[in-house]
């Protein structure tokens, strides 16, 4: 079992009591359904490409690492903004899960995240350095998160119970040394 799979297994084990407790609540009292949300910034982008660049070789390797890391979590949806870098980050994970990437407009980030939170379930959402904090807040995370321009390896796991309480687990994914060699 690779390191990220082990960490995800432990994280899910810690989150399971929250999900079970939420499932016992009366449906009419729930602000939202229990959910597990994985939120990442797009992988490394190519230097060229203007406002909508493709992924670099390192970014493609990181996108493949994300697909491997989330291969056993039972994703119900994979969503990304309409830009190449987010779509290309999402594609390997969606393919491995047998899903289509659902596009959402970057300007509708908050609305999209709130809708997912209300629906519950297990989802991957891919955004940008300036939208990942918005997604996390919309899912109920209270701590302030800021991403630097050179940060691409954060894997945010948000566990929501049926009352809308959120718990954040911040992990990292991808092997930077391996990605640099490709």
Residue 32 has pLDDT above 80, yes or no: no
* pLDDT for the residue numbered 131: 97
* pLDDT for the residue numbered 175: 75
- What helix, strand, coil percent values describe the chain, rounded to 5? 40, 20, 35
Cα–Cα distance, 37 to 62 (Å, whole number): 19
Report the mean per-residue pLDDT for the chain.
86
Cα–Cα distance, 59 to 82 (Å, whole number): 17
**Partners of 127 in the β-ladder:** 41
**Partners of 158 in the β-ladder:** 37, 168
Task: Determine the straight-line distance between the first and last CA of the chain, rounded to whole angstroms.
Answer: 23
Whole-model pTM over 0.85: no
Cα–Cα distance, 117 to 166 (Å, whole number): 10
Task: Give domain 3-180's CATH number out of 3.40.50.300, 3.40.50.10680, 3.40.50.1240, 3.90.1150.10.
Answer: 3.40.50.1240
Burial class (CB in 10 A: 0-12, 13-18, 19+), 136: buried
pLDDT band at 49 (very low <50, low <70, confident <90, very high): confident
């Amino acid at each position: 079992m690779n390191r990220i799979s082990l960490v995800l297994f432990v994280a899910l084990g810690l989150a399971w009591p929250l999900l079970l407790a939420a499932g016992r609540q009366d449906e009419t009292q729930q602000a939202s359904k229990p959910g597990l949300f994985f939120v990442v910034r797009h992988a490394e982008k190519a230097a060229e490409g203007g406002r909508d660049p493709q992924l670099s070789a390192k970014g493609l390797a990181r996108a493949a690492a994300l697909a491997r890391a989330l291969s056993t979590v039972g994703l119900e949806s994979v969503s990304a903004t309409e830009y190449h870098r987010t779509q290309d980050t999402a594609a390997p994970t969606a393919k491995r899960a047998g899903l289509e990437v659902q596009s959402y407009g970057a300007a509708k980030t908050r609305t999209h995240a709130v809708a997912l939170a209300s629906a519950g379930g297990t989802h991957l959402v891919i955004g940008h350095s300036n939208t990942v904090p918005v997604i996390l807040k919309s899912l109920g995370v209270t701590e302030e998160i800021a991403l630097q321009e050179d940060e691409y390896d954060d894997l945010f796991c948000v566990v929501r119970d049926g009352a809308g309480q959120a718990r954040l687990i911040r992990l990292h994914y991808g092997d930077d040394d391996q990605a640099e060699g490709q």
